[in-house]
Amino acid sequence: MSGVLVRLRPIVHATPTPTGLHVRGWRSSFTLDGGKGLWTIWERLAGPLADGVPPGRLVVPEHAPPAVARALELLIGQLHEHDMLVEVPAEWGGDAPPEDIASWLESVAPAPVETWRRLRSATVTVTGEGVLAAYARRALVAAGLEVAAVRSGPGVVLVAGTHAVAAGCATDVGFVVAPGPLSDVEADAAAVARRLAGAPGTAPEVLAALVGSAAAHRLVCAVGGLPDPSTEVVDMWSDVPPTGPPHQAVLVARLDPLHAEYHPWLSAVRPREPNGALLDVLGDRELGPVPTPLPGDLPQLPVKLAASGDVVGFGTTEHAARLDALLRAAGELAPAGALVGADRVHALGLALRTAVRRLPGTPVAEVEWAADPTARRWWKAVALRFALPASVEVTRLGPGVTRAVVRADGEELSWAVEAEPADAVAFAAMAAAGRAQAGVGGTGVRGTVVLCGAAPFAEPDGAAAPWTNRDWHWPHGLRDGEEAFQEDLRALAGEVKPVDLGPVLEAAGLVAFAEDGR
């Protein structure tokens, strides 16, 4: 193609290794092994590519030795695969970008010329005041965009055509919401400001400079057709390019020390499909709608405990306890009578169990569960470790459906409904032990505690040894039979009604059904 050169992106760097070389780019890297001669071949290839070569010349020479030809073919292929080569004009012409802007575009843009044309044709309107708006305007002008007169207004809003970005800055915290339509970004900015609840007053100049420049950066990328900066967060131990956050990404910046990072935002006006990262999204320390669930100072034996605010969750692992606390805290944001689950299977399992829990049944003899090591372990925790004056009532409600209820001093501490008596007793006893461990009647233990096999349990760490049995990883694996068990529950309870949780909780992946089944 006349007037076009293929160039190594300026951000690409290589390092020799004892057996080859390692090449790093903007969003990925690769390593080649094949001997020290690879570095010599790289130097011969990278020199011309740094200046740019016509596309037709980026081929393996016909008369190259076989080993060199294979190395060149592999190197060129890897450079293409990892997006480390870019086509640029031999001459930018009269409307050439400044050298630093050209280098940036050649480093990150799929098509630098097209991106520069978009930036040069855009006019940005800045609404805001003070140093926040001033730094945003300065960053936009430095990137080559035309900026109209700054209008007065709270925070800062940048608009270019159909793209808008909103930001705000208090004395201790600032933020930049994801680009989008003007009405959406303004709604998200107002909601984020309420969630962060920054201290009122004039923003420090250093914080305003960071936030204003970040807002300009996000708008520039949106106008130029470049990936949003939130997708640039790369795992240093992985060569897999990032795919971007699963939800709207909001940059949150704070002082002391000055730092900024992207956090997932459950937007009410721009919800996205759930991704299953409940703990990371719902419990995000900056923007999550519920407090981050953590073990804190809670005792961890025999039950794992975690607290989300003043709500305590229980589990056999830290992950299970944190998830349980998160769901209990999210349940307080749900409509009254809603049973909230981590997904549809979990929520439906809770609702169906609740619907059948008071049905009459036939007593189950202690011999049917007492020999099970898991049930025995948790019942011993209740009766021996915590010395509760407790009793457990086990009842068969129907084919393959068993209920266990733990009571102490006339109070119902916990109940469980499972397919097997041993599992029902184990869940009910573990919940009762968890209450005692956290402090019966203490902060976070409210009403009867319900744990069940419908919850999504994390995979155990490491491969199970041949001699392990269910007691090693219980309750992992129970969920495999949950859908079949729910059919048995439906035969007793009928159908249950789903509950609308609203765009925020549903975007997180939560599902709820009515407690009364209707």
Q: Over the stretch 236-273, which tens digit does the pLDDT of each residue have?
A: 444 444 444 557 889 999 988 899 999 988 888 887 76
Long-range contacts of 496-499 (CB under 8 A, 24+ apart): 496/348, 496/351, 496/352, 496/355, 499/334, 499/335, 499/337, 499/338, 499/339
Quote the tokens at residue 372.
Answer: 């099970």
Q: What is the pLDDT of residue 442?
A: 44
Decide: 417 and 440 in contact? Cβ < 8 Å.
Answer: no
Q: What is the pLDDT of residue 166?
A: 94
Segments making up each domain of the chain, as ranges: 4-89, 122-272, 277-457+471-518
Q: What is the pLDDT of residue 1?
A: 41
Q: What is the pLDDT of residue 518?
A: 53
pLDDT digits (tens, 9 = 90+) for 291-338: 889 998 888 889 999 988 888 999 988 988 999 999 988 888 888 888
Quote the tokens at residue 376.
Answer: 């025995």
Q: What is the pLDDT of residue 217?
A: 93
Q: What is the pLDDT of residue 471?
A: 65
Q: Looking at the predicted structure, is the pLDDT value of residue 458 above 60? A: yes
Q: For tokens 């086990």, what's the residue?
A: 394
Q: How far apart are alpha carbons 94 and 69 in whole angstroms?
A: 40
pTM, full prediction:
0.80
Q: Looking at the predicted structure, is the pLDDT value of residue 448 above 70? A: no
Coil/strand/helix, residue 173: strand
Average pLDDT for 182-204: 89
Q: What is the pLDDT of residue 480?
A: 86
pLDDT digits (tens, 9 = 90+) for 50-72: 888 888 788 888 777 888 888 88
Q: How confident is the model at residue 210 (pLDDT cuts 50, 70, 90)?
A: very high
pLDDT digits (tens, 9 = 90+) for 137-160: 999 998 888 888 777 777 889 999
Q: What is the pLDDT of residue 164?
A: 93
Compute CA 204 distance to the chain's CA centroid, rounded to the nearest angstrom: 30
Helices (H), 332-465: 344-356, 373-380, 421-438
Q: What is the pLDDT of residue 462?
A: 53
Q: How far apart are alpha carbons 514 and 518 in whole angstroms?
A: 6
With b for 16 or more beta-carbon neighbours within 10 A and e for fewer, the 292-328 pattern comes to bbbbeebeeebbbbbbbeebbbbbbbbbbbbbbbbbb
Decide: 431 and 437 in contact? Cβ < 8 Å.
Answer: no
At position 73, the amino acid (one-letter code) is E
What does pLDDT average to over the chain? 85
- Architecture per CATH, domain 4-89, reads as Alpha-Beta Complex (3.90)
HSE at residue 461, side-chain half, CA atoms within 13 A, is 3
Decide: 488 and 400 in contact? Cβ < 8 Å.
Answer: yes
